[in-house]
């Protein structure tokens, strides 16, 4: 992740996509991607659904007491938190 962040400034031909931007405004994000690629714009054939991850997040919250989940979260927090912070995210907010 870090090399990608560092290299993007020097590459000059990079687009950064954020999942939540795509979910909130899929047509606009797709339009930006098409422009970046230099291809004609296309309208998605399928509706992009929001809140499809809500069940997953609810299950994640319910399992907060699992020892395996605690170990996994600890690993994420200690080894990956600083990297994901560079992209504006945090495991601690999950």
pLDDT (0 to 100) of residue 5: 65
Mean pLDDT of all residues in 52-70: 74
- Helix and strand numbers, DSSP H then E, in the chain: 6, 0
Classify residue 55: in a domain, yes or no: no
Residue 20 has pLDDT above 60, yes or no: yes
pLDDT (0 to 100) of residue 65: 66
Best-predicted range by mean pLDDT (43-47, 56-60, 81-85): 81-85
Classify residue 54: in a domain, yes or no: no
pLDDT (0 to 100) of residue 33: 92
Classify residue 26: in a domain, yes or no: yes
> Which burial class, exposed, middle or buried, applies to 54 when counting CB atoms under 10 A from its CB (0-12, 13-18, 19+)?
exposed
pLDDT in tens, 71-90: 877 888 888 888 888 878 88
How many domains does one find in the chain?
Answer: 2
Mean pLDDT of all residues in 49-56: 75
Range of the domain at 89: 63-94
Question: 32 Cβ partners below 8 Å, 6+ apart?
Answer: 15
């Amino acid at each position: 992740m870090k090399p990608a962040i560092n290299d993007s400034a020097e590459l000059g031909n990079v687009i950064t996509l954020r999942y939540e931007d795509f979910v909130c405004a899929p047509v606009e994000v797709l339009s930006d991607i098409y422009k970046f690629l230099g291809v004609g714009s296309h309208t998605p054939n399928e509706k992009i659904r929001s809140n499809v991850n809500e069940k997953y997040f609810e299950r994640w919250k319910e399992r907060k007491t699992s020892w395996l989940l605690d170990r996994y979260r600890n690993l994420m927090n200690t080894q990956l938190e600083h990297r994901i912070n560079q992209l504006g995210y945090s495991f601690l907010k999950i």
